[in-house]
Each structure stands twice: as structure tokens, then as C-alpha cells.
Amino acid sequence: MEIIEILREASDRIYENVKHLAGTDHAAGDFGIGAGGDVSRNIDIVAEKTVLDYLKEINFECIVLGEECGRVDLSENPKGYVIMDAIDGSANAVRGVPFFCSSLAFATEDKLSSITDGVITNLDNGDTYWASKNKGSFFNDVKIQVHNKDPIYKIIGINTSGASKELMRRMDAIFENHNHHTRHFGANALEMAFFARGYMDIFIDLRDKIRIQDIAAGYLIVKEAGGLLLDANLKPLDADLSYETRVSFIAASNQEILNEIMSHINEC
Ligand code: IPD
Ligand code: CA
């Protein structure tokens, strides 16, 4: 079985197991602080267990790096890492806001740049975004590309959750500009998938807060859809897979929109 098929099957199983949970009291149950540093909710635990059970069932030899469960070695001879955010957008999922997803990626080394496969599943409806290295990005079975025409409305995705005053001040000019329709939906991985599908012209997260689990699958899906994916210094995004690592990134559909938006971000 191809790795992408394994990740897709695991994602489908998450959807089946959590689709009736969102917004219920049962979703919210508190399981203490997870490996990623946030409170693990019952819906997170159900989703992670689904993946772990499936990988064990098929004897997939790997190391799992889960946002809640931490590192789980499923073999002494692992083929690589499964980077798992079983529920991205947990706050939305617990409240029942229909914007949350799973994010599963496979990396051969301890580096984002070694990711070969990624799957993001919209857990509100089961839609799947997926990519394998050098094979393109797909929405269900349709190939997707970032938006490359001159947009009628410029949609600028910006993650502002918990952003510092200083960062908000640096981005003032973006918010003030009437041609920029800014958006923030609350599940970074699904926002990266939406960007890859052409729903946004640029998606920015400069908070230095995002974990590897939240962006691993999106990393490949954005790149395979033809997006530019850069760090805060406008260098190609890369990072190790450690639990301490936090990144900032900019996903842009082309150099022109990147230049335009960066010209509105002050250094200060
Ligand atoms: C969160 C979401 C959210 C982002 C937070 C993340 P989680 O992931 O991606 O959009 O603003 O920084 O922690 O905690 O729901 O997996
Ligand atoms: Ca999560």
C-alpha cells in the first residue's frame, strides 16, 4: 500500500469517528496538557487513537509525532515519521464551528523538506486535500493549483490569533487597504489547503507560534499546488520536526502578490 493511501485511509477513519462529536459536550472532555503544549480535548484523543490503532493494525513501521500523544515509536526499523495533528482547529471543533480538519504527513527525515506525502481532511464534510512529492496536489480526485489569475477580490488570509500588538501594528497597512479582504478561519492546516485550492491569494502566519504538526501536510500541499512557501526572512521554509520548533510562514500564489503584501508590512 502506498504511503499516501495509508494517510488517506487514516484520515477517512478520523472523519468517521469524529463527525458526530463536534460541538457536543463529549468533544470537550479535558485530558490535560498534550505534547504540543495545549489542553488535549476528548475529540483530539479520539482522533489520535483512530490513527494510532490503524497504523498498528497494518503494522506500518514508523515513528508517530502526534500533537497530543507526543513521539510514539511503532517500530525499531522505522521508514520515517508520521506527523499528526489529528484535529487542527480544536477550538472550532469543540464549539461546533464547521471549520476544522485532520492533518497527516509523512517525512523520511527530521525535516519539513523531507515530507513526501500529506493529507488534510475537512472534518466537517470529509473532503480531502492531498499531495505526494512531485505528483501534484489534489482536492478529492481533482488536481488543484494556487490562484494565478488577477483576482477580482484579493483574499488575504492572516492568522491573527494571539498576535502581539507589535505584529498587529506592523500589519496595519494590510488591514487598512480596502482592496485587501482579510480572512482568518481558525484551522491553519485547512487554511493552507484552501490557499492551495485558490481560495486565497496569500496566507500569512507571522506569529512565531505555529507548530510543525499544524503545517506539515499543508507544507507539501501548498508547494505541489505551485505556491511559494517562505519563512519570515523570505527564504524557502524549512525546519526540524521537534516539539520545541515554532515557525512563521508566508504562502503566496505568486511573486507579485508576495511583493505587494510585503511592501505593506513594516519592519519596526
Ligand atoms: C491551532 C490552529 C489555529 C492556530 C493555532 C493552532 P490546534 O491548531 O491551527 O488556526 O491559530 O496556533 O494551535 O491547536 O487546533 O491543533
Ligand atoms: Ca490539534
* Residue to substitute in 65, 84, 99, 161 for testing ligand 1 pocket (most ligand atoms within 8 angstroms of CB): 161
Atom of ligand 1 nearest to the CA of 213: 16
Segment among 66-70, 121-125, 166-170 with least mean pLDDT: 66-70
Ligand 1 site, residue 246, Cβ cutoff 6 A? no
d(CA 132, CA 134): 6
Q: What is the pTM of this model?
A: 0.96
Q: What would the CATH number be for the domain defined by 3-144?
A: 3.30.540.10
Atom of ligand 1 nearest to the CA of 188: 9
Domain 154-267 architecture: 3-Layer(aba) Sandwich (3.40)
Mean pLDDT of 82-109: 97
Strands lying side by side in the sheet with 142-144: 70-73, 63-66, 81-88, 101-107, 115-122, 128-132, 137-139, 142-144
pLDDT tens sequence across 189-207: 999 999 999 999 999 999 9
Share of the chain above pLDDT 70, in %: 99
**Assigned C-alpha cell, 26:** 463529549
- Are 149 and 125 a contacting pair, CB within 8 Å? no
Ligand 1 site, residue 161, Cβ cutoff 6 A? yes
pLDDT at residue 268, as a whole number: 57
Domain range summary for the chain, segments of one domain joined by +: 3-144, 154-267
Grid look-up 487597504 returns 177
